[in-house]
Structures are given as C-alpha cells and as structure tokens.
Structure 1
Amino acid sequence: MLKLAFATSRGRAISLVGSFLALFFAVVLVVSCGLLLESGVRARIPTERYGAAPVVVAGQQKITFVKGEADMGLPLSEPVAIPANLAEKIGKVPGVTGVVPETAFPVGLTGTEGRVVGRSWGSAGLTPYRLVKGRAPATAGEVVTDVTLGRKVGEKVGVAGRDGLREYVVTGVAGPGLTRQPSVFFTGERAGELFARPGKVSAFGVFGTGDGLADRVEQALGDSVAVYSGDQRGLAETPSAHEGREMLIALGGSLIGIVVMVAVLVVSGAFGLAVRQRDREIALLRAVGATPKQVRAMIGRQALVVAAAAILPALPLGVVLGRWMFGQFLARGMVPEGFAPVVGPIPLLAATALGLLTAWLAARGAVRRAASIKPTEALGEAMAERRELGRGRMITGLVFLGMGVAASGLSMVAAGETAAMSASAIVLLLITAASLLGPWLVRLAATLAGGLVRRTSPVGGYLAVANTRTAAKRLASVASPLILMFAFTSTTLFAQSTVGHATTTQAIEGNRADYVLEASPGLSPEVARAARALPGVTGVTETIRTQVLADTVELGERTFKPMGAVGLTVPAHGIDLGVTSGSLDRLRGDGVALSRLAADGFGATVGQEVRLLLGDGTRLTRTVVAVYERGLGYGEVALPYQVVRDHSETGMAERLYVTGGSKERLAALAPGLTVLDRDGAGAAVNAVQEFSDWANLLVVGMIIVFIAISVVNTLVTATGARVREFALLRLVGGTRRQVRGMVRWEALLVGGLAVVAGTLITAPTLMALSYGITGSPLPHVPYLTYGAIAAVTLGLAYAATLAPTRTALQGHPATQIRA
C-alpha cells in the first residue's frame, strides 16, 4: 500500500501542490511563533552589572496565583525593592563571605541620551568597577562616572533625579564600562536619598565559597525574594526583562493558537479538495476489490508523504523567520536589549508532529465516505456530486452557528469586559460554522443571485449558476478559505482600528491643556513648581503612567488582572477623564477612580472598596471616588499622584499638562525639555498608538499572507482539475469565451459569498468588542480599508481561477478528454 501511495502521489502531483504549500507555510508559522514562545521561557540576558557576584538576591518581579489547577504568573511593571535588613540573614548562611547592597535608580545626565543608572559607590565591586582616573566621591556634590559616558575628572555635570536637576563635580572615572546600563556613582548617603525607599535596597550581591551557595541562600530566605546565579543574574540587573519574557510567552502562545486554528481549517480544506478530485479513482479501486481499510491507509500514507516533503524545508525557514521577528521586537525596544532568541528542539518537534497529524487526519476525514460506501454508489457519486450535506456535518455546523448567534446576542446584553472578551469566541464559532456549512452557503448564494446572473449573461451566467448548484462541495472548498481570509483580516484590522480610534479620541478629547511637557527620564517636582509660578499659567497637572494588578474574585477564585493606571495631581486642570459619577477632586488619601470598564471588572461603584497591587507589588485597599469614561486614553485606574510616585522607578512625572503660559518660557524651565502644543500632543498619541499596533500587524499580517497563499493554491488546484469538464463543454458546442465567462461568474459568486459571509461573521464580533470597550455597538471601520479587503478577495478569486482556466483551454478538447 505504501508503494501504491508513492505511485499515486506522482500521478497526482499537481492536485497535491495546494496541500503541500498549505502545510509548508503552516509549519513555517508554527516554528517561528514557537521560537518566540521558547525564547520567552528560556531567554537569558548576559550578566553585566553583577559579573563579580556569584549570587544575586533581588525582589520577586512577578505575582503568582492559582487559577483552576494551574499556577499563573504576572510580571510587575516597577522594580521591587527588598528589605535592607536581609543582609544580616544572608550573612549567616554557611559559606557566605560578603554581602554588598545595591541601590539602582534612573537618572538623567545632561548632554547624554539614553538610559543612565545612578548607584552607590559602595556597590562598585559587584561588576567590579575600578577607578581609571581620580578618586571616589566623598561628598553629596561629587560623583564618579562610567568611562563610556566620556566625562573628565574635575568636570561639572548636571544630573536630574527625583529631587530635581543638580550640579555635581566628577571626581573619578571608572571602568570597565557597561554598554547597556552606564552608571553614575554617588556617595552612599546621596544614593539613598535619590533611591527614596528608606530601609530598602534594589538587590544584594552575595560572595562566598562552596558548591550550592545559591541553593543555601534560597533555602534560608524562602520565596519572598528571588535568588539568581549563573547566567540568570542578567535577569536581576534588568527588571524589565521579566515583562519582556512574559510578553514573548503571551504573544507566542496566542499566535500559535491562532496559527493552529487557521492551519487546521486551511490544510483540511486543501486535502479535502485534493481527495474529492480523486473520487472516481477511489471508486474504481473499490470496484476492483480494494477494501475501505486499504483505501484509507493509501490516502493516509500519501498525506504523510506530502507532509514529510513539506515539513523538511519548512523547519529551517521557520527558524529564520522566527529570528527575524525576534530581531524586529528587539530593535523596537519591545524586549530588553541583550535578549537573544533561543532555538531549541521543542518548536521543531511540535511543528513536525502537528503537520503530520493534521495532514493524516484531514486526508482520512476527506476519504471517509468514499471509502466506506458501496463501490457502485461511490462510482455514481464520483460521476455526479452528492448534493446533500452529511448529517453529522450539517448538525455540527448548525450547532456552531447557533452558538455563535447566541454568543453575539449575549455580548450585547452583557457589558464591559464580558462583552469585549466574547469577541474572540464569536469569530471562532462563526468561521467554523461557515466552513462546515460551506456547500449549503454556496447553493444559497447561487439561488439568491441566480436570477440576476442569468439575466446579465444568458450563457456564461446560466452555466455558472447551474455548475455552482451541482458542484457546491467543490466550490465550498474554494469559498471556505476565502471566507476565512476575509473574516480573519477584517476582524483583526477593524478590532485594532476600533481600539486605536477610541484610545486616540479619548486621549485627544480629554486633553484640556494648552501645552504638554515631557523629558527623559522624567520631570522632577521642581519643574512643576517652576511651571506653576510662570506668568499666565492657570493650572499644572502632573501624571505618571504605570501598571497595576486588579485583585478580584472570579467564579469563587482569586485572580489578578493587569490594568493601565495613571497617577495624577488634583485638581486635574489639564485633563478631563469624562467622570460619570463621583468626583476626581476626592482623589486623595485612600481614594481611587476607575474607568467604566475597570469598574465592571471589579464589580464596584462609587463608595465601595477595591484591592490593587501597585507596579512594585505593594498591596492597597482603596475606596472608589469616581467612575470615568476615558480609560483607554489615560488608564483604567487613576490614583493620587504621590502614591504612584513613591512606588515608581523614576519618582518623576512622565508628563505635565499646563494650561496657559507661553511655549518659550516653558521650554526654558529645564534642559532637554520637550514642549508640545495640543496638536503636537495629539500627533504624539497617534505615533504611540501606531507603534503599539505594529507588533500585532506584523505577526497577524504573516498569518493573513499564509491564508491568502493557501486561497490562491486552492483556487488554482480546483480550477486546474477541471480540464475534462472544460473539454466536454467545448465538445458540445461551447466556445472558449463562454467557458471563460462561466468561470468568471463562478469566481464572482464565490468571491461575493466570501465578502458577504465574512462581513456577517465580522460584524457581530466587532460590535461585541466595541460595545465592551466604548459602550457603543458601532465599531470604527475605515471604509477604504473595507473596500480594499473586499477588492483583494474578489481579485484573488478572479486571478486564481482565470489564469489556470486559460491554460486549460489551450489544448484540443478531444485530446484533453481522453487524457
């Protein structure tokens, strides 16, 4: 049977091209997304700052909790400080010979761009730093600079910290110099003031002897802190690495889920079409004595042959694509500098297993009926396509359709987060229903459009409608990937445009300031005080953006959800959050304001208490003082400014919203200050939104390209297999022009069906999403983009059918029908 499978594969090479390419691109995408996932799980950052310390003790940069039976983890957005008195406990661990505390905080160095880290000179030995020139700092006005910063001994430099811009004298230059985190060293006392966390430190470098030092330290301290050793020490010196890892894990995992779903639908359709083109051959095999088991085995092994041929070249190409994607994320700062992609065997093995299993199941499923019915019935169905849907397929399709419609209705009854989260379920249910009910949809399209088509083109239109009705299963194999492409593309792009438009609109409409001030790494309180003192300034609002974790209970289980948050001073003259209940003037002390979506997630109203975890893991219980509408533009949670400042890494404002004054006087408040007017601030919001959309468009765009390529392959394969049909039409009197006209109308019917069905799938999905995040069921759909997607869908249907049709019509019909 294996020999027969090889022989029939050679004879059916053209019809198997679509299956080959569908599998090829599916495996490429699975490997590339798997590489992102594995890089997140196993990624390491080369140790730089803590190179001399064999063990590093730092804060736990994530919160863990149990959901169901799984352990969940969410990263914390701000560095977690640990108690300074742990040094005594660490020093008592057997084998420990020294414990060096570290305080690290971002500072701005005048004339230097990029990240600069302030530290205490007492922790210089952790790298170790050595003085190249000069001496160590002795007073609060002296510093030692990293050799990479290019400063000279005796030079005066301006350093911006949480208490403002100060002038320091460089007393020394130290090396070796760090490329990712150049440092400025202060005296221990001054570093403590700038760190501003009394009784706490960033980390401890632990020195000692003996094997298992890290294990002994970890056993002594428990799980309240994180203990790093070896190549994991790089994670301790770059707290943002934990967010980068979680981002890669979440992105890779979600993309693999989408790719697998799309691949199963596309590959199943491709193999189903290839097998249906062999119905007559299978019927003849049954007629000459082949058993159903033998037929299924032959087709299954043939599918494995095709899969193996597709997988071998796809694996290395998937690795190349995954590395490129990782590089794009790294170049745009979405993962920390120093991260490197990890290529292991797991994604390769998983993609191989998925490809082989999908091909085998798809082929076996497609041949199931032809192999199981009587040979005479098989011959009859091979000559004339069976019109009715299989009972099981029809029932399953109707069940999915009913579930999709029910989910759409429930999403409009629900509100907030529940409605938004239902969107992904709706699109999956309706796409699956459309794939299962494809033949019925094709016949319905022919029935509804048949009259108009026949009147428009009496010959080509009549043939197209008749052929569509009798060959609905074949055309459904063509329509299903087109529907999938249209629905997936529209849902992805318009979900993004809906969220992006709402975010930008809320940010612009909520901006009541005349000017917005920004600087790196932030704006100290003295800048805000100076701005308030300027002539003509009537209001200054300080803001810090951060992320909090909402501590909620769902289905009886405690869970945590990340939410964007903002700390702002009140009264907020420059920002209008769109308060619907309560008052932002009460945002002081233990108050908190929630967006409508966040309030729905908490199930809280004004006057009730909610539990939060700040970016550094500090737990708070706060009373809701206001509920507002513009959560997408400014953050789902609003907290008193000082609370966020005290628990942020920089301790400085991210933005100042200034009402009144002049741009020139505001720009002179501090060096390196950026002053944006209202139009400039709106453009900056758009730029940030476009950057955040980039990653989604990149990876989803590749999936869309995969679907489009699969659509073309399916159309070319389906049309190329109709040589005998075209030859018979010509022998009974049809001209080449009439045959091409029939094919054009078929392409229009199938393409139009894809646009209509895809729209009907996309509409409830987007309505649920829009209703959940904006309170309005009307999504933001750019009409030109919608028209372009529809035009591409119809264009693919036309181009991929007419090109092989012209080729099929070139030979002599009598010769072609005998072949």
Structure 2
Amino acid sequence: MLGLAFATVRGRLPSLVGSVLALLFAAVLVTACGVLMETGLRAQIRPERYGAAPVVVAGPQSTSILKRDDGPAEMTESVPLQEPATIPASLAGDLAKVPGVRNVVPELTFPVGLLDAAGRAVHGRAHGHAWESARLTPYTLRAGRAPASPDEIVLDAVLADAARLKVGATARVLGRDGLHAYTVAGVAGAGGSRQPAVFFSAPRAAELFGHRDRVSAFGVFGSGDPEHLKDRIDAALPTSKNAAARVSLDLKDGLKDGDAPAAAGPVTYVGDERGFAEEPRASAARETLVMLSGSLAGISIMVAAFVVAGTFGLALRQRGREIALLRAIGATPAQIRSMIGKEALLIGAVASAAGVPLGVAVGRWMFGELVSKGMVPDVFPLTLGPVPMLIAVALGTATAWLSARGAVRRATRIRPTEALGEAAAEPRALGRARTVTGLVFLALGTALCVVAMSVAGETAAMSAGGIVIFLTVGAALLGPWLVRIAVALVGGALGRASRVGGYLAVANTRTGARRLAAVVSPLTLMLAFAGTIVFTQSTIGHATVRQAAEGMRADYVVGSAGPGVPADIARAVRALPGVAGVTEVIDTRVIGDFHELGERTLRPYRALGLTVPAHGLDLDVRAGSLDRLRGDAGNTVALSTLAAGSFGASVGDTVRLRLGDGTPITPTVVAVYDRGLGFGDVALPYDLTRAHTASGMADRLLVVGDGSTRDRLAAVSPALTVTDRAGAQADRDAAAELNDWVNLLALGMIIVFIAISVVNTLVMATAGRVREFALLRLVGGTRRQVLGVVRWEALLVGGVALIVGMAIAVPTLAAVSYGVTGSAVPHVRPVVLAAMVAATLGLAFAATLLPARAALAGRPAERIRG
C-alpha cells in the first residue's frame, strides 16, 4: 500500500493542494507560537550589573499559591510581581557565616532621573546605587573620585557623555525627595554594561532608596564553584526552595479566610540567572511570552485541527468514486485505511516541514514587534531551538493522519456496492456518533457561555475563544442539518427568483448538503472568530474610554520627565494660587487571592494609590466612601464592582491582596465603585502604595484649577510635564491601542489563517465539480446558466455562514460583555460589521466563481472524461 499511496499522491497533486496549504499554514502558526514559548521558558539574560558577583541573593520576582495538593501532584499558580521585592538587610550577617563566603556586598537600586538644562531626562530612566556596590559590575573610576558627601555623585560614562558632564560639573537628579543639584565627583565605566547608573554616597543612597533596614540584593563573593556556594546558601538560609516550602506549608495547613500567607523569602541566583535578578521586568516578560504563546498555540491547534479535518474530509469525499472502485475490485477496508493513512503521513510531514522556516520567520517578527512596543525588554534574547520545529511537524503529521483516518472511516465500513452508491449520491442521514458529538459540543459551548456570565473580568474575556470553538465545531458536525434547514426556509423564494439558476441551486443544495456544509464551516468559523475578537476589543475599549472620560474631572494632569513626581513638588502644587485640589496617583498592580469556580486562584488587577479626598477623579462610588481610604497600614481598600464580585466581598468585608512587591495584606473594603475599567479595579491608600513601589513617587497629579493654573504648574519645576484633560485622554487612548495591538497581533494571525483556509476550501469544492458542470452543459445548460447556479449557491452558502456565524458570535459577545462590563449588550460598530458581512460574501463569491469559470473552460465532452 505504500507504493500505491505514493502513486495516488503523484496522480492527485492538484486536488491535494488544499490539504497541503492548510497543513503548511498550521505549521507556520504552531512554529511561531513555539518560538515565543521556548524563548519565554529557556531564554537567559547575560548579567551586566551583577556581572562580577559569583552569587546574587535577591527578592522573589513572583508570588505563588498552592491551588491543589494531591500528594506528588501538587498544583501551584504563580504571578509575576509589578514592583521589585526587597529583602532584610540583616541577612548580610547570616550570609557571612556560610562556609566559603568571603565578602557580602549590599545592593540598593532605585529609579532616578538625570535632567538636562531643559528639564528632559537624559538617556531615559537611570538607576541609583551606593558607590560601595560598584564592584558588583565592576565599575571603575575613569576620572575623579568616589562620592564623599551627600551632595556628590559618580556618573557612569554613558550618562556623562549623553549629558556632556565632566568632573566638577553640576548635575540635577530627580529622586524620591525631589530635584537636587549634585557635584559630579567622578565618572566611572563598566565594560559591556548598558544600564545607566548614578552612584551616591551610602547614607544618601539609603535615603533615596526609602526602604529602611532592607536592600535590593546582596552580591556574594566566595571560594569554590558558585553552584556549590549557592547550595550552601540555600541550605543555611530561608531562601529559594526552603522559602517556597514554607509558603506552601502555610497555604496548606495554616491559612484561613482572612489570613495572609507568609511572604516568600529571597532567591539565590548564579550564572546567567543573575541577569533576571538585575532585570525584574524579565520575569514578567517571560510570563507574558508563555501566556501569550500558550493561549495562541492552544487556539491555533484547535483551529488547525478543525480546518485540516474539514479539508481532508472534503478531499476524500471528492475521491468517493475512487475509494468505492477500490473496494469493488477487492481492496479490504484495512488496505484502504492503510493507503489513506500513508498518504496523510506523507502529505502531513512534507507540508508541515515546509511551513517550519516561515513559522520561524513569523516568530522572529512577532518577538521583534513585542520588543519594539515595550512589552518585552530589549535585553531579553530570542531563543531558537529544534523543539518547536519538531513539535510543529509532529502535530501537523498527526493531525493529517487522524483527519484522514476519520474521514475515510465510513467509506471503509460499508459494503462495496453501497460505497459506489454513496459516491454517486451522498446519504441524507447523519451518523449517530456525529449527531451526538455535535449536540455535545453545542451543549458545552452553551454551558461555557453561562459560566462566562457568572465570572468577571479577564476570565470572562478569555472564555471567548473556547466558546467560539465549541459552538463552531458543533455547528460543523451538524452542518448538513443547518444547510437543509436553510434550504427549507428560502428554497421556495430562490426558485421563484430564478427559475433555472435558483431552482438548480436549491436542488444541488438539498442533495449535496454534506459538501456544502464542508464549505459553510470555515466561513462560519472565520466570521464567528473575527466578530468575537474584534467586538470583544471594541466592547472593552468603549467601556474603558467611556468610564475614563466620565470619571476624569481634573483640569490638568501633571507628570514628570523622570521616574515620578516627588512629594515636595506635590506640596508646592497644592500651595499654588488658583489650585482647588490635587490628588496624587500611583499606578501599580496588585494580586487578588480568592476562590473562583471552587478553586483558589491568583489574579492580577490594575490598581491605583490615591490621596483622599480625591479631587479631579470620580470613580462612581456605589457603596461606602473613598474618604476612608487612608493610612499606610494596609487596612483599607476600595474595589470595583467587578473585583468585588470576584472576591464575593462588599463594604465591611476583608479580602486577601498582595501588593506590587508581593507583600500580603488583608484590608477591609471601605468602598465599591463602578469605573474599574477606566481607572483600575483596586484603589489603595496612597501612603501604603508609595511604601511598596521602587520610586516612592506619584506617577501623576490630578489638578483642579482655573485657566491661569497651567503656567503656574509649569513654573514649579523644570522636571514637570503638564497636559490638559484632552491630552491626558489622548495618552490613555495610546496606551489602550497598544494593549489592543498585542491581542489583535496574536489572534489576527489566526483570522488570516482561517481566511486562507476558507478560500482554500471553496476553491477545492468548486474545482471538484468539473464533471457536474460538464454534465449540465451537455444536457443543454449554457455557460451563463451554470455560472448563475454557482452564484446562487455562493449566495446561499454565504448567507448560511452569516446566520450561523452571528448565532455563534452573539451569545459569545453577550457573555463576555456581561462578565466585563455588567451589560449583556456589546459595543458593535456598524461599519465594521458591514465590512465583515461584505468580506464573508465577497470571499464566498470570489473563491467560488473564479474556479468555476476555470472548470467551465474547454469542451464539456472532454471535461467530463477528465
């Protein structure tokens, strides 16, 4: 059968092009996702700041819970931290006692801004350190000396050159306690380090760091192999695995509702792992890549399996006469299955391997886009290995084999005479297994819709893809029923509208429902998927913009060219004539810890720290009062209605939260507000939030003032940037567009793949009707009449796809909209909807009529023998 398989593949190459293209593009998607996932899982960052320290002990970069404990099958969940975690300075003494440790160097890292004469930040955001930690890189003085007083600094050579500052010059640096002038005591250089650094004296660095009795990290110097030194440190201190075990024990045994788990201990880094210790964003970037590629790969594989199965099913239906003839001349079912299976293996392997190089290129391009948009730091390297490529080929080959074996199953189970009969006219009844499976998928999709409406926020939005897949697969399996129902509803009208073309189109549809269902399915998937993705984005985006516009009452928004707005500048702004109120705002992220669908989960939330009373900001409080949002003890919080629903909390209840640096708190809910999409789902006291951020400064000030206030604001400090309400809205829109871009980049590729598959399937289906068209010509039909039949069929196919696709998209969007905005009515732009309808019908007509014209070329008598 292997030889026969090669022979049939060679003889049917034109009819197999569709299957090859479907598998090729599936391999492209899977390979691209695999490249991103491998980068997220395996990439290492070359250490720069800690390049000279053999071992680094730093704070954790994620927080975890134990979701389920099944003995050896423990299931944990981790979420990256938004802010760098600090560790106790007292650990220096414990580290010094570890055998083999010679020296322990504390490290303080905090954001600062070096400003030029115009108040602009030089070389982006820099980091401040104490000069004593310069040896961790190492930095060496190229000119001048070390800082000896609080008003002296050492600049690294990159910053000094960019600012054109030399030893003895005056530099203005914006830090936690405001904008200060410093004398440049020295200029230092470090080979290979790209991180802009400003070095202060130890006492001054501690003031700017702002976390008393804590440090960012320790550089540990010792004798022997760093890996062995790391093992000794882990054994002696509550770090790494020991801390993780301690937290897991707290979560399993001692944690009750309202209790906060113990914070995770420090983590020990060696080798290339040290790069992650100095670049906290890298862990979040890894998580972003893994989550993005994982969700995209999962949807891609499901869509690819759906498309490839449909393509192979259509191709094998077109070979019905060939298979029936082989059965009639003595081929056994096992031989037929073996032949088709080997064909599928051959096609799957070749097509998938051909798609791998393009998939690698697409993965590189996607990674580059993520870096250019700031979603992944530029120090994060792309990692390429053979595993994603091998997986893409294996998945493509397996999908082809399973699809082919499933499609040929019925033809090999019936008698040869029945197979010949079915090759001439397809059976009307659906198989029992297909009917039951289709109904099950419809039930699963409906159930997922209900679940999406019962959860909130991100979980509801993430359920959209699953709902579409379940409902589309169910509709595809029951497709012949849907086609026959459509014919029953509009067949009479089509017959009256066109007595020749319409009548024949209706007759063809009734007898070829399975064939047309195979064509309707990818069109339905395209419309349902595209409509769900686009209108989910527009629904969330519209609600976000509306809430932000309605809640923003400030006349001016004050920002900074550096890492933030210090407290002394905020006090100066409050004292300005004409200023009626100022609210200091910190944008951060917190992590909620609650139960959802019976399982404990962690969920990140956008959060803001607020000074109260809040001027220039209306969060639309529904219960309680924001004025109670005070203090730095972590005992109060305000939640959006969506977040409160997730926690199952109301005013007076306590919730479990972890701040941006992982610090656990159990605050009492003092207010519930409605504009979480526009501003963030969690509001915290400003002093509490400030104490757990790296900068210790406000991200912006909301100012209520008169028309003359703007000039006064700009005069307070050269480091300030002042925008009016419209400018602030434009900045928010730009940030929202970036987030939408990431989602559309990922899922837009799937839509393109589906669109290509739609054209592929339509061309295959139409090109396989050469004999049918020739027969119509021989019995007296004109070329124009045959094309008329095809046009009416294309209209019928496009219409059924539109109705079914919308029937899938509407409940999906309603469920997502209700879960995210509280309203079951999604925001749909009529122009976009009209474009989707036009694209669906246009694809149906173009991909049907063009191959039909080619099929009608030549003499009918010659074509019917072909």
Partner of residue 292, structure 1: 333
Partner Cα separation in structure 1 for residue 427 and residue 270 of structure 2: 67
Partner Cα separation in structure 2 for residue 120 and residue 27 of structure 1: 51
Partner of residue 442, structure 1: 483
- 1:216 partner amino acid: R
8 A contact 1:485–1:708 mirrored in 2: yes
Which of residues 360, 365, 369 is equivalent to 2:410?
369
Partner Cα separation in structure 2 for residue 409 and residue 592 of structure 1: 30
Q: Quote how far apart the aligned CAs of 1:554 are.
A: 4.1
Q: Quote how far apart the aligned CAs of 1:406 are.
A: 4.4
Partner of residue 31, structure 1: 31
Partner of residue 654, structure 2: 609
Q: Quote how far apart the aligned CAs of 1:94 are.
A: 1.5
Partner Cα separation in structure 2 for residue 395 and residue 452 of structure 1: 32
Q: 1:780 to 1:753 in 2, by over 3 A?
A: same
What does residue range 93-108 of structure 1 map to in structure 2 within 5 Å? 93-108=98-113
Deviation by residue 1:287-322 (Cα, 9 ceiling, x = unmatched): 000011110111111011111220222112211111
Which of residues 811, 815, 819 is equivalent to 1:768?
815
Partner of residue 53, structure 1: 53
Which of residues 502, 516, 527 is equivalent to 2:569?
527
- 1:471 partner amino acid: G
What does residue range 709-748 of structure 1 map to in structure 2 within 5 Å? 709-748=756-795
Matched, 1:652 2:697: yes
Q: CA RMSD in A?
A: 1.5
Matched, 1:262 2:303: yes
Q: Normalising by structure 2, what TM-score? A: 0.93
Q: Quote how far apart the aligned CAs of 1:412 are.
A: 5.0
8 A contact 1:417–1:597 mirrored in 2: no
Q: Quote how far apart the aligned CAs of 1:414 are.
A: 6.8
Q: Quote how far apart the aligned CAs of 1:419 are.
A: 5.5
Partner of residue 165, structure 1: 179
Which of residues 390, 394, 414 is equivalent to 1:349?
390
Q: Quote how far apart the aligned CAs of 1:356 are.
A: 0.9
Deviation by residue 1:545-598 (Cα, 9 ceiling, x = unmatched): 111111223466543211111101100011101110111111113211000111
8 A contact 2:654–2:666 mirrored in 1: yes
Q: Quote how far apart the aligned CAs of 1:672 are.
A: 3.7
8 A contact 1:595–1:637 mirrored in 2: yes
Partner Cα separation in structure 2 for residue 228 and residue 514 of structure 1: 48
Deviation by residue 1:783-806 (Cα, 9 ceiling, x = unmatched): 111111111111111111111111
Partner Cα separation in structure 2 for residue 732 and residue 381 of structure 1: 23
Partner of residue 235, structure 2: 219
- For structure 1, which segment, 407-416 or 633-642, has the greater mean C-alpha deviation from structure 2 after superposition? 407-416
Partner of residue 334, structure 1: 375
Partner of residue 594, structure 2: 552
Partner of residue 536, structure 1: 578
8 A contact 2:606–2:681 mirrored in 1: yes
Partner Cα separation in structure 1 for residue 194 and residue 593 of structure 2: 35
Partner Cα separation in structure 1 for residue 630 and residue 658 of structure 2: 18
Name stretches of at least 5 consecutive residues in structure 2 with no aligned partner.
69-73, 117-121, 241-264
Matched, 1:574 2:616: yes
Partner of residue 794, structure 1: 841
Q: 1:581 to 1:755 in 2, by over 3 A?
A: same
Partner of residue 136, structure 2: 126
Partner of residue 683, structure 2: 638
Q: Quote how far apart the aligned CAs of 1:64 are.
A: 2.0
Which of residues 238, 259, 272 is equivalent to 2:279?
238
Matched, 1:247 2:288: yes
8 A contact 2:455–2:646 mirrored in 1: no
8 A contact 2:452–2:815 mirrored in 1: yes
Q: Quote how far apart the aligned CAs of 1:446 are.
A: 1.8
Partner of residue 19, structure 1: 19
8 A contact 1:416–1:596 mirrored in 2: no
Q: 1:413 to 1:228 in 2, by over 3 A?
A: closer
8 A contact 2:456–2:643 mirrored in 1: no
Matched, 1:65 2:65: yes
Partner Cα separation in structure 1 for residue 276 and residue 80 of structure 2: 13
Q: Secondary structure at the match of 1:153?
A: coil
Name stretches of at least 5 consecutive residues in structure 1 with no aligned partner.
none
8 A contact 1:547–1:614 mirrored in 2: yes
Partner Cα separation in structure 2 for residue 413 and residue 243 of structure 1: 29
Partner Cα separation in structure 2 for residue 538 and residue 651 of structure 1: 25
Q: Secondary structure at the match of 1:46?
A: coil
- For structure 1, which segment, 267-276 or 70-79, has the greater mean C-alpha deviation from structure 2 after superposition? 70-79
What does residue range 292-331 of structure 1 map to in structure 2 within 5 Å? 292-331=333-372
- 2:642 partner amino acid: L
What does residue range 511-526 of structure 1 map to in structure 2 within 5 Å? 511-519=552-560, 520-526=562-568
Q: Quote how far apart the aligned CAs of 1:266 are.
A: 0.3
Q: Normalising by structure 1, what TM-score? A: 0.98
Q: Quote how far apart the aligned CAs of 1:421 are.
A: 5.8
Which of residues 320, 323, 332 is equivalent to 1:282?
323
- 2:663 partner amino acid: T
Partner Cα separation in structure 2 for residue 179 and residue 576 of structure 1: 45
Q: Quote how far apart the aligned CAs of 1:218 are.
A: 2.3
- 1:209 partner amino acid: S
- 1:330 partner amino acid: V
8 A contact 1:587–1:639 mirrored in 2: yes
Partner Cα separation in structure 1 for residue 710 and residue 530 of structure 2: 44
Matched, 1:628 2:673: yes
Partner Cα separation in structure 2 for residue 451 and residue 690 of structure 1: 48
Q: Secondary structure at the match of 1:29?
A: helix
- 1:215 partner amino acid: D
Q: Quote how far apart the aligned CAs of 1:700 are.
A: 1.2
Q: Quote how far apart the aligned CAs of 1:418 are.
A: 7.0
Q: 1:783 to 1:450 in 2, by over 3 A?
A: same
Partner of residue 431, structure 1: 472
Percentage identity across paired residues of the two chains = 62
Partner of residue 255, structure 2: none
Q: Secondary structure at the match of 1:734?
A: coil
Partner Cα separation in structure 2 for residue 414 and residue 547 of structure 1: 20
Q: 1:669 to 1:426 in 2, by over 3 A?
A: same
Which of residues 508, 521, 526 is equivalent to 2:549?
508
Q: Secondary structure at the match of 1:491?
A: helix
Q: Quote how far apart the aligned CAs of 1:161 are.
A: 0.7
Partner Cα separation in structure 2 for residue 670 and residue 180 of structure 1: 29
Partner Cα separation in structure 1 for residue 598 and residue 424 of structure 2: 59
Partner Cα separation in structure 2 for residue 420 and residue 345 of structure 1: 33
Q: Secondary structure at the match of 2:499?
A: coil
8 A contact 1:14–1:717 mirrored in 2: no
Deviation by residue 1:755-800 (Cα, 9 ceiling, x = unmatched): 1111110111111111111111111111111111111111111111
Partner Cα separation in structure 2 for residue 752 and residue 549 of structure 1: 46
8 A contact 1:147–1:177 mirrored in 2: no
Partner of residue 718, structure 2: 671
- For structure 1, which segment, 405-414 or 535-544, has the greater mean C-alpha deviation from structure 2 after superposition? 405-414
Q: Quote how far apart the aligned CAs of 1:240 are.
A: 1.0
Matched, 1:691 2:691: no
8 A contact 2:303–2:469 mirrored in 1: no
8 A contact 1:24–1:310 mirrored in 2: yes
8 A contact 1:53–1:127 mirrored in 2: yes
Partner Cα separation in structure 1 for residue 642 and residue 485 of structure 2: 41
Partner Cα separation in structure 1 for residue 579 and residue 31 of structure 2: 57
8 A contact 1:417–1:601 mirrored in 2: no
- 2:617 partner amino acid: I
Deviation by residue 1:718-768 (Cα, 9 ceiling, x = unmatched): 111111000000000100001111111111111111111111101111111
- 1:564 partner amino acid: R
Matched, 1:200 2:247: no
Q: Quote how far apart the aligned CAs of 1:633 are.
A: 1.1
- 1:536 partner amino acid: G
Q: 1:133 to 1:413 in 2, by over 3 A?
A: closer
- 1:493 partner amino acid: V
8 A contact 1:109–1:157 mirrored in 2: yes
- For structure 1, which segment, 414-423 or 294-303, has the greater mean C-alpha deviation from structure 2 after superposition? 414-423
Partner Cα separation in structure 2 for residue 179 and residue 752 of structure 1: 61
Partner of residue 79, structure 1: 84
Partner Cα separation in structure 1 for residue 57 and residue 456 of structure 2: 44
8 A contact 2:654–2:669 mirrored in 1: yes
Q: 1:352 to 1:215 in 2, by over 3 A?
A: same
Q: Quote how far apart the aligned CAs of 1:179 are.
A: 5.4
Partner Cα separation in structure 1 for residue 598 and residue 409 of structure 2: 45
